[in-house]
Amino acid sequence: MSGALDLSPGIPAARRRGLILGGDPLLAGLVGLVLAAALGLVLLPPAPYLVNMIGQLAAFAILAVSLDLVWGYLGILSLGHGLFFAIGGYVCAMHLLAHAYVVTGTAPDLMQFMGWKSLPVYWTGLTSAPYALALALGLAAAVAFVFGLASFRSRVNGVYFSIISQALVYVAMLLMFRNDTGLGGNNGMTGFSLLFGWPMGSPGVVTGLAVATLLSLAAVLVGARALVASPLGRRMLACRDDEARLRTLGYGTTRLKLGIWCLSAAIAALAGLLYVPQVGIINPRVLSPDLSIEIAVWVAIGGMGRLGGAVIGAIAVNALKFWLSAAMPEAWPFILSGLVLVVVLGLPNGLLDLATLRLKPNWLQRAGPQP
Amino acid sequence: MVKGPGRFGFVALLLWASSLVMPPALAAEATLDRGALATALCGDGAAQAKAVEGVLRNSAEATSGDLAWAGTILRALLDRRLACLGESALVLDRAGATDGRDAATGTARPVTGGRSPVLGLRQRALIETASGAASLLTGADVELRRAGLAALERRIATVPEALLLRAASAESDPGLRAGLAAIAQSAALSSVDPARRLAAIRAVSEAPSGAAFSRLSALKADAAYGSDPAFRSALDAALARVERAVSIGNGLAVLYNGLSFASILFMAAAGLAIIFGLMGVINLAQGEFIMIGAYATYGVQEAVRRIAPGWLDAYLLAAIPVAFLTSALVGIAIEALILRHLYRRPLMSLLATWAVSLFLINGVRVAVGSQNLQFAMPPYVSGGVPLYADFVVTWNRLFAIAFAAVTLVLTLVILKRTPLGLDIRAVTQNRDMAACLGIRTRRVDRLAFGFGSGLAGLAGVALCPIYSVNPGMGANFVIDSFMVVVLGGVGTVVGTLVAALGIGGANVLIEPLYGAVAAKVIVLAGIILFLQRRPEGLFAVRRRR
């Protein structure tokens, strides 16, 4: 189908192929900045806590990009993306514990807590990092596939989809709070000691994790940009703006939505995978519905429908959160809710609107049509 | 302990039975030789034991005056406040006092030269039991009598049945009477007279409960279960009967809890469904409107306590309009300030209402504090009526159910019988056409949003007597009520009702079998599967978009 219609206006096809980032200078700048930061961390490493924070922010940015792919480009607002993030995080934690168990022989806390002699059967093979990576991404995509198939097939969309996805992450949270799941229950999993045989928390490992996360972010951004600039990306936008019409034109929207939805889940799992070794803990609170809504808030504040907006939103909100929840923890929820309201009411495209704000702002009028 | 009419019937039966077997001479009130008792208590261990056993044996027939007197002297002996001077005994006010009153005559005398009698372990236990019997029969207040009964229970084998029967017939406190009946029953169950035992087994099975079942099951270990076929068949029949009744009672209790949970869900979800049907906005702050309703109720309680403490019991009723109006006004303010701008962007309105809920939760947390609020429980929401076996109709849950029923009727009346309801239905079905016909759709939106928020506020009143009230309480209901809206279909009150009953019922039915988490998982999976067949929910309103 892609050969039949060239829906992308503007750049000629020949130029587009060579310069994926050429059409989005903001994104190109961001990718450059991310790569520069990665290089900077290697050459002139700052204090470890700062390195760690940069790594965490980059993981959040990957998560925000994964949500922006489905929300900004496909019009599907997931309020349950924390589920896929948590799948990545939990699998990573299991790998770290299983690896340390094999190398050092100290049993993980959860085995002692539950009084188990050995790890449950579904931990088999998790000592292998490639298997853990494949499991995290594959499991997230599989869960997304089942849920997405059930929803998209019966044309559950819009607000309906959002609140059902919220219920999904809520139920997952209740499930993980149980202690008999073999995944740490309400204490979660912590006490990671080794990463590929190196001691966790040593400056080299901290820098390595942060650099790996930054490089992943750059790769995800370039890949996502390639996707949305492709004919498939045009079809995503068409589906967002008028799904019924696209279907009438003969395009199967269910398959399109399902594919992007699973891809987005896998990217979210990748973010979780990179996040957990940097914070050193995972517990069911990652699955709280509020956290999943916050991901959407980052995207909305940065500017949905622009990959760069998601990155800026995730980094701005979380940097503010890191700073304020230490400086004045009581005020943080008020600032966050105020920020959301200002953005939702005044800046329909998020902070990116500030860049194009005219001298006589017309944003007090009702906003134009928006997904 | 469950109190049932069957218990009292059983006591009456025992009274009747005992009046048949009891010789008339014994039934007459016996007199106590006070002097002899006092002397015996000052004597050696054997004399003490014999005298106290006599008191206990005759306690069912003794006069109240004698019993009270015996109780005084026995307690004095236990507390080392009894001094023996030769043949007579003195009761002191406190241990080590210099003078006391003669136990038999009541005259005051100095203690000089008196000695305190020594008590053996066996004698002490006996005296405790006898003194307990005296307290149970003559104690002035309930606490004294309850303590007396507790003392008797420790050595129930030595207590004559007639004593318990006398106490039961004289007792005025229902809780204590039920306790007495239970003890009398277990005494009769282990009686040596087979006919008596059979009657007791039959009587126990008349008032089935979990406790009755375990009491009867214990009898299976009895020797008579193997040797006496009549006893065996009676016990088996009684056990089967009690077991059936208990499971029916537990089933009823589960349904009842499900109904009350569904009532709260319905009240929270009805407003959500109306708003969603009308404007396509899912209000993530609906849980916080429930919280506001509950806090308004608390405010009314505190105001009533300060202004008219005598009317405190009525605060829950006075809170109904206050909670409705408070939540409705907050809702209208939010609609006017925020949501009005977002009707064409439903996903953004989702985030906006989430921000509002975050603001409300933390606002209340800062203003009032995050602790659970304490509510006074008026009589109409505390306690309950035992209906069948272990099933108790508790008033607080009945209050919520009745409240939801009234809300349902009022909502239906408003939607079907008032001009506002007509407007709401018209705008829900076809906004543009309604606007063309001159309906001010914006005003309808605002009023409907206020009405929906007010309904959530009412849910807040109804759950005050059942659940704990704190700033984060809304989160416990909000996801379930979303599911109710999704399942029931938007904009229909009947669909909301059916879905609330279904989800509430499914939750409580699955919970005892597989646990609370499994209940949520199964309900969510069921809803997603259901949407495969009917994506619009149970009762979709036909409309043009």
* In the predicted structure, residue A291 carries a pLDDT above the cut 80: yes
Model pLDDT, residue A328: 83
Q: Where are the domains of chain B?
A: 7-189, 248-366+394-533
DSSP string, A219-281: HHHHHHHHHHHSHHHHHHHHHHH-HHHHHHTT--HHHHHHHHHHHHHHHHHHHHHHHHHHHTE
- Asked if A330 is an interface residue toward chain B (Cβ–Cβ < 8 A), one would say yes
* Chain B residues near residue A167 by CB distance under 8 angstroms: 479, 482-483, 524, 527
Closest Cα in chain A, distance from residue B273 (Å)? 12
Model pLDDT, residue A272: 93
The candidate with the shortest Cα–Cα distance to B353, out of B289, B396, B413, is: B289
- Asked if B351 is an interface residue toward chain A (Cβ–Cβ < 8 A), one would say yes
Nearest CA in chain B to A349: B348
Give the distance between the most distant pair of CA atoms in chain B.
Answer: 110
Closest Cα in chain B, distance from residue A102 (Å)? 33
Q: What is the DSSP letter of A5?
A: -
* A268: confidence class by pLDDT, cuts 50, 70, 90: very high
Closest Cα in chain B, distance from residue A187 (Å)? 17
* A63: confidence class by pLDDT, cuts 50, 70, 90: very high
Q: 3-class SS at B385?
A: strand
Model pLDDT, residue A362: 53
Q: Kind and range of the H or E element at B139?
A: none
Closest Cα in chain B, distance from residue A70 (Å)? 13
- Burial status of residue B68 (CB atoms within 10 A of its CB: 0-12, 13-18, 19 or more): middle
CB spacing of A344 vs B276 below 8 angstroms: no
Model pLDDT, residue A19: 56
* Chain A residues near residue B527 by CB distance under 8 angstroms: 164, 167
Pair B237, B275: CB distance under 8 Å: no
Closest Cα in chain A, distance from residue B466 (Å)? 22
Model pLDDT, residue A143: 94
Model pLDDT, residue B363: 93
* In the predicted structure, residue A370 carries a pLDDT above the cut 60: no
Model pLDDT, residue A356: 66
> Residue B237: CB partners within 8 Å, gap ≥ 6?
B205
CA-to-CA dists, residue B46 to B53, B121, B123, B131, angstroms: 11, 12, 9, 18
The candidate with the shortest Cα–Cα distance to A287, out of A166, A163, A170, is: A170
Q: Kindly report the number of other CB atoms within 10 A of residue B258's CB atom.
A: 20
* In the predicted structure, residue A322 carries a pLDDT above the cut 70: yes
* Chain A residues near residue B280 by CB distance under 8 angstroms: 158-159
Model pLDDT, residue B357: 92
pLDDT, mean of residues A122-138: 86
Spatial strand order of the sheet with B82-85 comes to: B82-85, B88-91, B99-102, B108-110
**Residues 48-77 of chain A whose Cβ lies under 8 A from any Cβ of chain B:** 71, 75, 77
Please give the Cα distance from B242 to B1 (Å, whole number). Answer: 16
pLDDT, mean of residues A339-350: 84
* Chain B residues near residue A79 by CB distance under 8 angstroms: 350
**Residues 299-318 of chain A whose Cβ lies under 8 A from any Cβ of chain B:** 300
Nearest Cβ partner for A341 among B282, B338, B346: B338
Phi/psi for B115 (5° steps) reads -130, 150
Closest Cα in chain A, distance from residue B453 (Å)? 19
Nearest Cβ partner for B346 among A154, A158, A341: A158
Residues of chain B with pLDDT under 50: 1-28, 544-545
Nearest CA in chain B to A148: B528
- Asked if B461 is an interface residue toward chain A (Cβ–Cβ < 8 A), one would say no
Q: What is the DSSP letter of B28?
A: S
- Asked if B276 is an interface residue toward chain A (Cβ–Cβ < 8 A), one would say yes
Nearest Cβ partner for A341 among B355, B366, B520: B355
* In the predicted structure, residue A287 carries a pLDDT above the cut 80: yes
Mean pLDDT of chain A: 83
Phi/psi for B84 (5° steps) reads -105, 125
pTM recorded for the entire structure: 0.75
> For chain A, percent helix, then strand, then coil, each to nearest 5?
70, 0, 25
pLDDT, mean of residues A344-369: 63
Residue identified by tokens 């208990």 is B246
Closest Cα in chain A, distance from residue B347 (Å)? 6
- Asked if B280 is an interface residue toward chain A (Cβ–Cβ < 8 A), one would say yes
Angle at alpha carbon of residue A232, lines to A227 and A233, rounded to 5°: 55
Model pLDDT, residue B135: 84
The candidate with the shortest Cα–Cα distance to A95, out of A121, A133, A69, is: A133
Measure CA B37 to chain center.
46
Tell me what percent of the residues of chain A surpass a pLDDT of 70. 89
Please report the beta strands in B342-437, taking only residues with DSSP state E, as ranges in sequence order.
Answer: 384-388, 391-394
* In the predicted structure, residue A13 carries a pLDDT above the cut 60: no
Mutation target for B interface from A143, A161, A170, A328: give the one with most B CBs within 10 A. Answer: A170
Mutation target for A interface from B288, B340, B350, B545: give the one with most A CBs within 10 A. Answer: B350
Closest Cα in chain A, distance from residue B340 (Å)? 9
CB spacing of A334 vs B356 below 8 angstroms: no
Model pLDDT, residue B541: 56
Model pLDDT, residue B162: 77
Is CATH 1.20.120 the classification given to domain B248-366+394-533? Answer: no
Least confident of A80-94, A195-209, A335-349: A195-209
Nearest CA in chain A to B367: A330
pLDDT, mean of residues A113-117: 74
* In the predicted structure, residue A159 carries a pLDDT above the cut 60: yes
